[in-house]
Structure 1
């Protein structure tokens, strides 16, 4: 039996989408030289032959994956990397070619695409630039539904509420928050953290909200470290017994600050993070985190775009995906 892309992917430990792009010499794919070399070597070992069958015409459709971060920033934020992988994997099954564009450098994709999936946060001006290129446009992680666009978002409110309920069940009413604020790459839109909004609403409903326990950062590990240090210094013995932190990188920085202050986790302070990237397993203690369906977000966006391309009666949709709590050693589970 002839070797397939799936055979190569399993042996190389990567996705079939990655194998396809490497074998097609896609220079925009962000993988290491060792990974590329390994894929070519495995393909040779398995005597992989490309199919001589005619390609389905839909395979010629090219979609642009426009990411608001730079390539370097993506390497530091596994959340968006996982969404991208979901897009690439579903695109291969739907026979779409994917062109990646970083940091809104979109001039080179004019007239060469059938549709756009925009990942991240975009200002009105940036949205208009994309819309001027094509009306086949889907957003991920940016709620553009009320502007008439398809979008795939996360149910932040329920995820945060579940975390607060968990702490309350453990008789921990003093819950702190470290959250992030972002702005679009053109600086024209400040993006409020929806987790902060959900946290404040839920805590106020329970009459346990304390603004002194809330600290603002920027989603980086360094910011999480700095804000937790501020909390420790400013609150002293009044430091909350639990913190909800808006991202895994911020939470890893907060853990470091607590450990430097000899504050035991979770005995004195419990930590619950958000996104559940692979980072949660590589810190000590491992982070409890709200799991976001990142791969499904990417795949769902591709399906929406496919329907938009093929269905003349397509109606704009806002798809909100649920989250779930994943418990690890940064919280007590008794």
Structure 2
């Protein structure tokens, strides 16, 4: 595990700044550029170390991110996937061009191929296909659109989280989740984690709708949902919470700390994604490990195979997960 000092040295900032940024300290005034250096340093130090840059120029690959550069800093899941893609492409000798949500995509046509990260509407997918036919999506199932994609498993880890809570004697289980929309304001389907969570607990006659709260996957949303839960369910709080991403969990921890509710003694938490911030919260966050580096690398390898193939057969690659237990859960 990289230390705060390691990250500070790589990002060229103080230890205190690193700690506050990784905990999404709202009172800290720091530029997006500095935040990006810190988050990218933290993520890169958690990656495997056998990077070998290939200096043979094999062409240009574009990476399209559904977030703006600023929004990406609020959810390290997507930043981590992007870094995994870039690392693999550089190893393979490709030049990389980044496009964020608010960048014009008109030059995508002259890239050898495009790796698209995040979630998009039908209209956006149609436009991307017109600009470049060599596409691979990451974190969205695009097989129905005859486009290959790389996904993570959701059903198995949700069951693992619930089973862990129950094996620890915690049967009053709630969840914080989020609702997403594309950048052109098309509402997306319900978070599959909450769908599996609800289904699995209903099978055991143990689902409590009052403990399933929906926000928007940001630290501030996690903070607000915990505040709402403490207000509305003060006499009927759950014993454990599954939180759909790490950013929300950081905000939830802050709200619980302010309310003097001890984690995990009074409320156990397990989040999802296991980005680098989980190791630097207090207490450290238990989280479902999503292998974002592998997702990015698999997307890069899949695209390169498509470029070399005479016939492209769309496929889905699903990457497994594992449960990483730390101090926020019993």
Query: Within 5 Å, which residues of 2 pair with 1:53-132?
Result: 56=56, 59-103=57-101, 105-132=103-130
Kindly state the Cα deviation for residue 314 of structure 1 after the two structures are TM-superposed.
3.1
Structure 2 spans left out of the alignment, 5+ residues: 1-8, 12-31, 38-52
The aligned residue for residue 194 of structure 1 is: 192
Q: Aligned match of 2:322 in 321, 324, 331?
A: 324
Higher Cα radius of gyration:
1
> TM-score scaled by structure 2?
0.82
Structure 2 Cα separation of the partners of residues 265 and 107 of structure 1 = 45
The aligned residue for residue 135 of structure 2 is: 137
Q: Aligned match of 1:255 in 253, 256, 273?
A: 253
- The Cα offsets for residues 224-273 of structure 1, whole Å up to 9 and x where unpaired, read as 01101111111113100000001111111111111222111111100000
Secondary structure of the corresponding residue to residue 62 of structure 2: strand
Structure 1 Cα separation of the partners of residues 231 and 223 of structure 2 = 12
Maintained 8 Å contact 2:85/2:297: yes
The aligned residue for residue 284 of structure 2 is: 286
Maintained 8 Å contact 1:66/1:104: no
Maintained 8 Å contact 1:248/1:274: yes
The aligned residue for residue 238 of structure 2 is: 240
Structure 1 residues 99 and 67, CA gap change in structure 2 (3 angstroms) = same
Structure 2 Cα separation of the partners of residues 313 and 121 of structure 1 = 26
Structure 1 residues 104 and 304, CA gap change in structure 2 (3 angstroms) = farther
Kindly state the Cα deviation for residue 191 of structure 1 after the two structures are TM-superposed.
4.0
Structure 2 Cα separation of the partners of residues 61 and 32 of structure 1 = 30
Secondary structure of the corresponding residue to residue 139 of structure 1: strand
Structure 1 Cα separation of the partners of residues 106 and 312 of structure 2 = 28
Structure 1 residues 32 and 244, CA gap change in structure 2 (3 angstroms) = closer
Structure 1 Cα separation of the partners of residues 196 and 299 of structure 2 = 24
Q: Aligned match of 1:177 in 162, 170, 175?
A: 175
Structure 1 Cα separation of the partners of residues 277 and 318 of structure 2 = 24
Structure 1 residues 183 and 285, CA gap change in structure 2 (3 angstroms) = same
Maintained 8 Å contact 2:290/2:320: yes
Maintained 8 Å contact 1:274/1:289: yes
- The Cα offsets for residues 129-154 of structure 1, whole Å up to 9 and x where unpaired, read as 10001221000001111221100011
Structure 2 Cα separation of the partners of residues 94 and 302 of structure 1 = 9
Maintained 8 Å contact 2:219/2:250: yes
The aligned residue for residue 269 of structure 1 is: 267
Runs of 4+ in 1 over 4 A off after TM superposition: 30-33
Tell me the number of residue pairs that the alignment of Structure 1 and Structure 2 aligns.
287
Structure 1 Cα separation of the partners of residues 159 and 223 of structure 2 = 24
- Give the aligned CA root-mean-square deviation in angstroms: 2.2
Structure 1 residues 107 and 314, CA gap change in structure 2 (3 angstroms) = closer
Kindly state the Cα deviation for residue 106 of structure 1 after the two structures are TM-superposed.
3.6
Structure 1 spans left out of the alignment, 5+ residues: 1-11, 15-29, 36-50
Query: Within 5 Å, which residues of 2 pair with 1:307-322?
Result: 307-322=305-320
Kindly state the Cα deviation for residue 31 of structure 1 after the two structures are TM-superposed.
6.7
Q: Aligned match of 1:304 in 292, 302, 305?
A: 302
> TM-score scaled by structure 1?
0.81
Secondary structure of the corresponding residue to residue 236 of structure 1: coil
